Amino acid sequence: MPKRATIQDVARAAGVSVTTVSRYLNGRYESMSEKTREKIAAIIAELGYRPNALAKGLKAQRTETVGAIVVNMSYPFCVGFLRAFSRTLGAAGYHLMVAESEGDAKRERQLIESFVANRVEAIALQTSGANNDYLEELAREMPVVLVDRAFALPHAYAIGTNNRDASREIAWQLFDLGYDRVVYLTEDERGIPTRTDRLEGYLDACRVALREPVVMRVRRGDPSSFHEALARVDACARKARTAVYTANGLVLMECYRPLRALGHKVPVQLGIATFDQPDWADLVDPPVTCVRQPVEEMGEAAGRIITARLRGEGVTAEVLVVPSTVAMRGSTGRG
Amino acid sequence: MPKRATIQDVARAAGVSVTTVSRYLNGRYESMSEKTREKIAAIIAELGYRPNALAKGLKAQRTETVGAIVVNMSYPFCVGFLRAFSRTLGAAGYHLMVAESEGDAKRERQLIESFVANRVEAIALQTSGANNDYLEELAREMPVVLVDRAFALPHAYAIGTNNRDASREIAWQLFDLGYDRVVYLTEDERGIPTRTDRLEGYLDACRVALREPVVMRVRRGDPSSFHEALARVDACARKARTAVYTANGLVLMECYRPLRALGHKVPVQLGIATFDQPDWADLVDPPVTCVRQPVEEMGEAAGRIITARLRGEGVTAEVLVVPSTVAMRGSTGRG
DNA sequence: TTGAAAGCGCTAACAA
DNA sequence: TTGTTAGCGCTTTCAA
């Protein structure tokens, strides 16, 4: 690894001072002779010189880098969010550092700290909620945006969707469509606001519709937990029109095949609906009714808030709720 | 934004020199009194001090950061790759900067340069191929790994799959299964090695099987281009058993519904196969035959190569081919 | 066991 | 139009 050229090297080779080179680098040509400018340009090209952003950042106290911490980069929510976030920031000239917490609070904390050490200018994260004290402190010093699992925290921004309302709405519609039973499949919701909210929404709907809620908890990656849930669905469906409503697309994905394999007619005997809009929802037959989360809008909003704040503009909305919408499809007999 | 505490602040508050604090930070406790150590620890906690990684990096000439440039973070290939890459690097203590080139060569170049300016210690990228000269130069100074669209470049590493062989294999199997026509749907392949290789593989199979190739070029996001392709498929399928083979999962996704809407019986009249393994391949009925690209292995390999190189270990394999495998499913009448 | 000081590559205030 | 120099926050050599 040959050492990279520095501004000193350029200055020396061009026979000027580092100041002049620095001026050149920052586009302050107005006070510089044509000749000097050309000379410097030539040397830079020749040396393949690239200014050291670390040195610049150290001096300027600005890194033009923003950090994002998600639970898992391959979760559809995160994919959509990160893409929109990255685009918005990229357009404003910021770099993006990405890391995965795997939902682990300690790891999340470490990641935040190491982002801070790297002097990211802002952080967006899908937090476990266990580091709220630290985040609250941090939010005093830099823009902090909590997405998805959006806890209300002083000084921090929160971007999420109306999980409870949308969940209530879709569950309600399922009852309204004539499904006597709606079986709700969720992962362990404790400590995860999106999940508790969606569950609450479902329970709200049951209350209003005067139906007995049926909540089955599953663990992704553990087929036996799904077996149990599906056995319950099967039992219900034999007695009355039943709908399965899953708390997110990944849960539905994991049980979709065995669910269909039960053999009940969709949508007549069995309805299927899910929170999230998996990209395959329209490909299966019949297409799956779902709650469309405006993931990209959230990413964009997060990017906009951060760039605005870093530009020194006050951003008012501390809690942004981007509403989800229900998309009725054939899997519930309408659409 | 209150200024963050510096090592100076800590030293002053603890009544010791910055040298001592630096020693503490780097775990060199052996030559330090118990009392000093505790004092420093207390002050650091009190001040919420976080060492400035920029200053450290500037001094040490190491940023512990690696860059990745992909075409589009939401492409299934990139999602899988980035996740595995990020995990592997994260485990080795590296940070990851991610950016999207959108397949644009100029943008790609800018991104590389700005990564270089930020002194990333290595770069992995899905390149357009237009910056090969620059990349070749760069590869002399730092580990450069070309993934997916893997051009062979001196000093750089290339990680890809056996696109041509796998494509030939699946096309050949389609003929073997009794499909008289195999219609190949691809996006414009010019300049993109993965696409040309897959096309070549298909053509190879046609040659060997003595069949007329039928190549239809589509543009994602442009329905009319798909209409045309599907009309051709329809015409073929009316005359003889026909299979559709798409160059990647996104192309298949975009035409899957209209394809099924043509009404031909799958797999009897119409076979369906694709390169890539979309996550929904098993959810539709019948499940879709596909070429499984070991995306995660590529990400892991890229991470391993980079960490090994940065650890100073010589890494030999300059071109790594991670083989894809054909998964026969019901959409082609076997599996 | 501790500290002074040089220097990493850059910017900008001040001077010429 | 150009240059000198201090300093951003840290590590490390050398000295005490």
Q: Is B50 in contact with A141 (Cβ distance < 8 A)?
A: no
How far is residue A270's CA from residue A242's CA, in Å, rounded to a whole number?
A: 5
Residues contacting nucleic strand D by the 7 Å CB criterion are A 15-20, 23, 30-33, 35-36, 55, 58-59, 61; B 3-4, 6-8, 18-19, 22-23, 25-26, 51-52, 55-56, 58-60
**Collapsing DSSP states into helix, strand and coil, what is residue B297?**
helix
B326: β partners: B291
Nearest-CA residue relative to C1' of D2: A20
Using left for φ > 0, alpha for ψ between -120 and 50, and beta otherwise, residue A247 falls in alpha
Using left for φ > 0, alpha for ψ between -120 and 50, and beta otherwise, residue B159 falls in beta
How far is residue A78's CA from residue A57's CA, in Å, rounded to a whole number?
A: 29
Compute the mean pLDDT over every residue in chain B, rounded to the nearest whole number: 95
B contacts of A119 (beta carbons < 8 Å): 52-54
Tokens coding B290: 């596909």
What is the tens place of the pLDDT at every residue in B139-153? 999 999 999 988 889
> How many angstroms from the chain centroid is the CA of residue A306?
15
Helix ranges (DSSP H) in chain B = 7-14, 18-25, 34-47, 53-60, 76-91, 105-117, 132-141, 163-176, 193-209, 223-239, 249-261, 295-310
Closest nt to residue A18, judged CA to C1': D3
What is the tens place of the pLDDT at every residue in A55-67? 999 999 999 999 9
Per-residue buried b or exposed e for A32-57, using 16+ beta carbons within 10 Å of the residue's own CB: eeeebeebbeebbeeeebbbbbbbbb
Residue A31 predicted with pLDDT over 90: no
Distance from CA of A124 to the nearest CA of B (A): 14
| Higher pLDDT, residue A12 or A3 | A12
What is the tens place of the pLDDT at every residue in B153-170? 999 999 999 999 999 999
How far is residue B117's CA from residue B119's CA, in Å, rounded to a whole number?
A: 5
Residues B121, B65: contact at Cβ < 8 Å? yes
CB atoms within 10 A of CB B299: 27
The confidence score (pLDDT) of residue A335 equals 60
Residue A317 predicted with pLDDT over 80: no
Q: In angstroms, how far is D4 C1' from B122 CA? A: 36
User: Whose CA is closest to B138, among B152, B154, B160?
Assistant: B154
B181: β partners: B242
Query: pLDDT confidence of A1, banded at 50, 70, 90?
Result: very low
How far is residue B115's CA from residue A119's CA, in Å, rounded to a whole number?
A: 16
Q: Is B52 in contact with A65 (Cβ distance < 8 A)?
A: no
Residue B1 predicted with pLDDT over 60: no
How far is residue A292's CA from residue A276's CA, in Å, rounded to a whole number?
A: 5
Q: Is B283 in contact with A2 (Cβ distance < 8 A)?
A: no
What is the tens place of the pLDDT at every residue in B211-263? 999 999 999 999 999 999 999 999 999 999 999 999 999 999 999 999 999 99
pTM of the model: 0.94
User: Span B5-16, mean pLDDT?
Assistant: 93
Indicate yes or no: strand C within 7 A of the C-beta of A8: yes
Q: How far is CA B164 from CA A194, A222, B198, B246, B327, in A?
A: 45, 37, 5, 14, 16
Please, what is the end-to-end C-alpha distance for chain A in angstroms?
A: 61
User: Span A143-168, mean pLDDT?
Assistant: 94
The confidence score (pLDDT) of residue A237 equals 97
The confidence score (pLDDT) of residue A30 equals 84
Residue B335 predicted with pLDDT over 70: no
A contacts of B335 (beta carbons < 8 Å): none
Q: Which residue does chain A place closest to B111, by CA atoms?
A: A95
Alpha-carbon torsion (A206, A211, A216, A220), positive or negative? negative
Residue B138 DSSP label: H
Indicate yes or no: strand C within 7 A of the C-beta of A52: yes
